[in-house]
Structure 1
Amino acid sequence: LDLIRFLSSLVVLLFHFYVPLPGYQAVMIFFVLSGYFISTSALREINENRWNWFNYLLKRLIRLWIVLLPSLILTFCWAKVQFSIFGESKISNYLNWKVFIGNLFFLQGISVPVYGLNGPLWSLSYEFWYYILFPCIVLLIYIPRIRIKLLYA
């Protein structure tokens, strides 16, 4: 499964360099496999009464920010290079602090556009919100206390 996930990510990388491969399908395969690994781990911790939101979110945020932060910085730098060559364009409307902070907290496509028109950033937003929703749904089922069930609902 790790090999399939690696190959999927490689296809996505090559697709972004305009190699004619099924990039969108590879993203979905990668998401499904990553979701399987993450959900298996979360379910095991919940079943063993070792679940901890802080540790879970810390692991997920580190995993995503390792990719997101360099991407946001490179997007800004690349846009500045484009501006120096071609002049300002509509991209500058998507390079402000509000959009940067919104993308930093995975709100791209929800309340802000993707930063600098960096289209692939949509996937990190989807991944983050999956990380939030999955444990909420599972804990809604597993937790016996009604008040906490309402919180997760």
Structure 2
Amino acid sequence: MPKHEERVLSLDGLRGLGALTVFLYHIDIMVKPFGGGGTSLFPGSASVLIFFILSGIVLSLVPFKQKDGGRYNWPGYYPRRIIRLCAPMFAAIALAIPAGYVAWHMGSTSRSALAVTYDADLPTIIHDILMQFDVLFNVSNGVNTLYGAPLARVDSPIWSMSWELWFSLTLPLAIWCISRIRRPGFAVITIFAAVFVSYWSGYFPLRLGLMFWLGVIIAKQFDKIKAIKLAAPVELALLIVPVGVIELSLVWHPGGIAEALLSTTMNAACMTVVVVSIIDGFTRRVLSTSPMTFLGKISYSLYLTHAIVIGGLAAFLPKLGIATPHAIAAASLLVSTVVAIAFWRAVEVPSMNLSRSLGKLKPDDTIR
């Protein structure tokens, strides 16, 4: 395994932990086993921001390792990345459409069940179905589209994949720009200033796109970060404080400039969590354990399919007399894990193999 691939263990572990957090967030808001009032304390949105930073890192590491960025196989990168990203995503959408129909037919009024107007005329139904596969231009922040319309997706987590695809397509630009920056600290400060403007103005594409660029900056400094050693109390503080900031952003909404500042600080906290997972410490070792890396291995499949499972069970199990939130949540965890493993084997692994063949690269060179 090439030296630069050693980072996959801890970063995959963090990705797996993020996918689990998103699962718990959706369990909380869809099934409500933890109380049912107010805002979920599981940071689903922050986990997605961490995913974006991780993607920026992982996709940039190999190009930065080249002696000359121009020698990187960009023509091979594009088919490899698009297949790797889109094949599982489109398969999940294809599963979610009939699942949404069944949920709608059973009387569910969830957002996913109403994403397609199944009782409309045929052209409208076809339009709504095709819109589910539009992940390039139908962008959103997870709640509303760019122009303020409510998000309507049969598989709600798919919203974030639009940003993954946009960044994947524009990766050469990010590599070119970041490789020419001589003061990475100033670049990070500039990015967070733009993130603040994004929150303050409400223009969400700016902050979502820039999270990937933070990952590119981290990738440029990856070896230096990886070699950092901190005392255990310092490392613990660098975990506790960011998590506290993330949780505070979930429950406190002061509005105006104060909220924009808090939200920007939350983004910085997400970056800190990623950096701590890279440095030489106990966090990296924990995230590199077998259970965490296994969770990381199936994290993309879990992320794509868990909302379908939760929505289906929430609609179906009460018909069988299983209506308690805790029972539905437990069943969702078990079934989501099984479905994620099956999806990984049946869809994700073949897509990885196909992406390798199209990119004409050896397996060890595949960007994951």
Q: Quick check: TM above 0.5?
A: yes
Residue type of the alignment partner of 1:31: F
| Paired residues of 2:22 and 2:44 also in contact (CA < 8 A) | yes
Deviation (angstroms), 1:45:
4.1
| Amino acid across the alignment from 1:108 | N
Bigger shift: 75-84 or 115-124? 115-124
| Correspondence 1:11 to 2:26 | no
Whether the 8 Å CA contact 1:75–1:115 is kept in 2: the answer is no
1:98 pairs with one of 130, 140, 154: 130
The offset of 1:89, in angstroms, is 5.2
Cα deviation, 1:24-81, whole Å, max 9, x if unaligned, reads 1111112212211111123234726432233111221122124312221122111220
* Alignment partner of 1:138 is 2:170: no
Structure 1 residues 58 and 24, CA gap change in structure 2 (3 angstroms): same
Q: CA deviation at 1:98?
A: 3.5
- SS across alignment from 1:102: coil
Superposition deviation, residue 125 in structure 1: 0.4
Partner of 2:57: 36
Q: Which residue of 2 aligns with 1:149?
A: none
- 1:76 and 1:95 in contact (8 A); partners too: no
In the TM superposition, 1:47-66 aligns within 5 A as 47=68, 49-66=70-87
Residues 1:108 and 2:138 are matched in the alignment: yes
Quick check: 19-28 or 119-128, which moved more? 19-28
Question: 72-81 or 89-98, which moves further after superposition?
Answer: 89-98
Query: Normalising by structure 2, what TM-score?
Result: 0.33
Where has structure 1 moved over 4 Å in runs of 4 or more?
Answer: 87-90
Of the candidates 21, 43, 46, which is equivalent to residue 22 of structure 1?
A: 43
Query: Is there any run of 5+ residues in structure 1 with no aligned partner, and where?
Result: 143-153
| Structure 2, unaligned runs of 5 or more | 1-9, 29-33, 35-40, 118-123, 140-145, 180-368
- The verdict on how the C-alpha distance between 1:114 and 1:98 changes in structure 2, with shifts beyond 3 A counting, is farther
Structure 2 residue aligned with 1:145: none
How many residues align? The count is 140
Q: What is aligned with 1:121? A: 158
2:64 and 2:45 map into 1 onto residues whose CA distance is: 28
Pick aligned residue for 1:77 from 98, 103, 106: 98
Query: Cα 1:7–1:34, aligned 2, differ >3 Å: closer, same or farther?
Result: same
C-alpha distance in 2 between matches for 1:99 and 1:107: 10
Task: Give the 3 Å change call, closer, same or farther, for CA 16–52 of structure 1 in structure 2.
Answer: same
Structure having the larger proportion of residues in helix: 1
Q: Which has the larger radius of gyration?
A: 2
TM-score normalised to structure 1 length: 0.70
Tell me the equivalent position of 1:68: 89
Identity %: 25
Contact 1:11 1:21 in 2 (8 A): yes
* Alpha-carbon distance in structure 2 between the residues aligned to 1:50 and 1:99: 38
How far did residue 126 of structure 1 move? 0.3
The CA RMSD over aligned residues, in Å, is 3.3
| 1-structure distance, mates of 2:85, 2:173 | 19
Residue by residue over 1:78-132, the C-alpha shift from the partner in whole angstroms, topping out at 9 and shown as x without a partner, is: 12203322399563257635314423xx332279x96644332111000111112
The CA distance in 2 between the partners of 1:101 and 1:7, in whole Å, is 27
